[in-house]
Structure 1
Amino acid sequence: MTLSLEQLRRCSVAVDLGAARTRVYLKGTGLIVDEPSVCAVNLRTGGLIAVGTQAEQMSGRTPGHIAVVRPISGGAVVDITMAQRMLRQFVGDRVRRAWRRKPLLRAAVCTPFDAHPLAQTAAVETLTGLGARRVELVDTLVAAAVGCGLPVELPEATMIVVCGATTTQVAVLSLGAIVAAENVPVGGDAIDRAVVQHLRNHHEVLLAGHAVRPLHLVLSGPDAATGAEVHGRDVATGRARSVRVEAEGVRAAAQLPMSGVIDSIGSVLRSCPPDLVADLADRGIMLAGGSARLPGLDTMIRDATGMPVQVAEHPDVCAVEGLGAMLEGEVRPVHLGPLAT
């Protein structure tokens, strides 16, 4: 981690290209972009109509000649050109001009620990197309752990579960590196689909996918005991109908897709040395990522593992904030002294 920190301190920009949201951190300024990773494109002309929040609001409401696309999936750029166009709109002309005035601009970007070389190349090309002369790749797990305030640079075990939109990453870290990790193709989107299916089967209501996340937020808040009212389309009549949804039903629907994450946590623990697992008995598991606040997720993991589970204070921005802390030099490497002779 020492070498990585020295390289990262030379970077000026940190980027977290998430499947759900894209975030940009500017050194000395802080977080300047936090927008959905969504673009609305005119299929006839190829022109970009909207990006971010405005494009996300168009999802499911567009005519045939307008498509709402996501250029990032599972932490990997799947459409480099569209990702570059989206980032250009996000950062704005003023920031781009400031970048151009730095001939040796360096950028850092979060990537999954098991990212394919082609996915890493796509992330690098996306940022070099915006003017970066050098791009440093940082494991999302390490960046998120730093953003959560975990002492990843110490010779002690820390366990983090990063719950994204399309994937969930589980890892045990020590001395600034990953000891054991797994990537599960299950995330918030899979849980959303399970909730939509639950409403269809038990309440006979069709709910739009983008309306599920506000439902999660209500059911994870102080009013969870009273449930939440949702508006959708009646399966039989096609008319608009409102139903009240209980938190217990949503938690039960989320158990099936989350079983893969539970199995992955057990597999990672079995791959770790006993001394590190002993460290985790008291410290427990830290949840980060945009889906970490799903109702009942922490309780589900706690019951399955018997370990303490804590949700980060700001789980959705942990990765980019941790990357920013590395850029600012707030993380210090451990320097081990020479052996006595």
Structure 2
Amino acid sequence: MTVSLEQLSRCHFAVDLGAARTRVFVKGAGLVVDQPSVAAVNTRTGALIAVGDFAEQMTGRTPQYIRVVRPVSGGTVVDIEMAQRMLRHLIGDRMRRALRRKPRLRAAACTPHEADPLARRATIETLVGLGARRVELVDTLIAAAVGCGLPVERPEATMVMVCGAAATQVAVLSLGSIVTAERIPVGGEAVDRAIVQHLRHEHELMLPSQSVRPLQIALSDNGLTPQGPVSTEIHGRDVATGLARSVRVDTAAMRDAIHTPLLAVLDGIGKVLRDCPPDLVADLVDRGIMMVGGTALLPGLDKMLQEAIGIPVHIAERPDICAVQGLGAMLEGRIAPLVLAPLAA
């Protein structure tokens, strides 16, 4: 781990700043924030109008003087000031006052694997702006593995796959550290775009950005598997006329469109396994891969990966909040490290 469990146990709250959702865990209070990473701003006055769920509902429906922004992209803070304002409102005045009373307020945060120094610095400055005197950074892969109950501290191979909105991260862990890992710039947003482009090119149909969730409508039941529904009806706007129109699309063609971006994920998993020591790969044949993250809930994705790589694929009980739960477990001291004391001469 990048920091010791002792240092993390001194932290008072933890933040998982994701491209899709922001989650905040407070020691002693649990998960207090689980909202979309979205803010709505009045461009005339600079005032913050809404954050979270309400701001996300405004996407694509605002007048010209209201701008909906996402201060986090791919797990990296791209607008520090807006991220601070968003977090202040999401946490609320009461919780912020309680945190400020803590002596030498400490915070922990998730960072993507191999995040560059600028990205790490942006995360630290965001939390320092909330009053944190010290910020500890934890690799998202380790936090997610801890959050879904994997024995990361043991000398055994555990493989975790974090399926985020902007990227997918895959790693093999042993003895509390990452043995080999890969970050693939393909996530839930790429799958959404593949569906939207397929409908535009094949059916000349444009989907509303929020009123229709492409994955939930195009995929149901068994989703990506051939046993899924043969066809489904989708409502949108005609590209030529601009009028509302409904079309019935073949879900087999939809699955083919989705498979294209997912091939990059399969390549990333293969690279991690090739770079992994043989003894650890042998452990994974029985243990398999644990999927976490919001995109892990894509129907049929686990079955498709299992058929492609020949290793069991499991989905965590609450894949969307595993990373922040892992941070919370480390903050509250629920993780016992494996002590490797030096041998006497």
Cα shift at 1:290 = 1.1
Task: State how far apart, in whole Å, the 1-side matches of 2:194 and 2:201 are.
Answer: 10
Corresponding residue for 1:205? 205
Task: State how far apart, in whole Å, the 1-side matches of 2:213 and 2:140 are.
Answer: 23
Task: State how far apart, in whole Å, the 2-side matches of 1:309 and 1:222 are.
Answer: 16
Task: State how far apart, in whole Å, the 2-side matches of 1:109 and 1:210 are.
Answer: 29
- Contact (CA 8 Å) 1:247, 1:295: kept in 2 or not? no
Corresponding residue for 1:237? 241
Corresponding residue for 1:72? 72
Corresponding residue for 1:275? 279
RMSD: 2.0
**Larger deviation, residues 94-103 vs 2-11:** 2-11
Corresponding residue for 1:4? 4
Task: Determine helix, strand or coil for the equivalent of 2:210.
Answer: helix
Identity rate, percent: 68
Task: State how far apart, in whole Å, the 2-side matches of 1:339 and 1:5 are.
Answer: 22
Task: Determine helix, strand or coil for the equivalent of 1:209.
Answer: coil
Q: Are 1:310 and 2:314 matched, yes or no?
A: yes
Name the CA shift for 1:51/1:160 in 2 (closer, same or farther; >3 Å): same
Counterpart mapping for 1:110-189 below 5 A: 110-189=110-189
- Contact (CA 8 Å) 1:128, 1:134: kept in 2 or not? yes
Task: State how far apart, in whole Å, the 2-side matches of 1:38 and 1:2 are.
Answer: 29
Cα shift at 1:340 = 7.2
Task: State how far apart, in whole Å, the 2-side matches of 1:39 and 1:146 are.
Answer: 30
Corresponding residue for 2:297? 293
Q: Deviations over 1:27-82 (max 9, x none)?
A: 11111000000111111211111111111111111111111110000111000000
Task: Determine helix, strand or coil for the equivalent of 1:104.
Answer: coil
Runs of at least 5 residues in structure 1 that lack an aligned partner in the other structure: none
Name the TM-score, length of structure 2 as normaliser.
0.93
Partner amino acid, structure 1, of 2:12: S
Cα shift at 1:157 = 0.7
Runs (4+) off by over 6 Å: none
Task: Determine helix, strand or coil for the equivalent of 1:291.
Answer: helix
Q: Deviations over 1:265-303 (max 9, x none)?
A: 111111111101111011111111111111332122112
Name the CA shift for 1:245/1:152 in 2 (closer, same or farther; >3 Å): farther
Name the CA shift for 1:121/1:233 in 2 (closer, same or farther; >3 Å): same
Cα shift at 1:227 = 5.3
- Contact (CA 8 Å) 1:162, 1:288: kept in 2 or not? yes
Task: State how far apart, in whole Å, the 1-side matches of 2:164 and 2:10 are.
Answer: 28
Number of residue pairs aligned between Structure 1 and Structure 2: 341
Cα shift at 1:252 = 1.8
Task: State how far apart, in whole Å, the 2-side matches of 1:309 and 1:181 are.
Answer: 17
Task: State how far apart, in whole Å, the 2-side matches of 1:318 and 1:218 are.
Answer: 26
Corresponding residue for 1:194? 194
Q: Deviations over 1:161-203 (max 9, x none)?
A: 1111111111111111111111111111111000111222333
Runs of at least 5 residues in structure 2 that lack an aligned partner in the other structure: none
Cα shift at 1:313 = 1.4
- Contact (CA 8 Å) 1:251, 1:295: kept in 2 or not? no
Cα shift at 1:95 = 0.6
The equivalent position to 2:229 in structure 1, one of 222, 225, 229, is 225
Corresponding residue for 1:87? 87
Name the CA shift for 1:89/1:117 in 2 (closer, same or farther; >3 Å): same
Name the CA shift for 1:3/1:33 in 2 (closer, same or farther; >3 Å): closer
Q: Deviations over 1:225-266 (max 9, x none)?
A: 375443211223321122344543332211111111111111
Task: State how far apart, in whole Å, the 2-side matches of 1:297 and 1:222 are.
Answer: 9
Task: Determine helix, strand or coil for the equivalent of 1:254.
Answer: helix
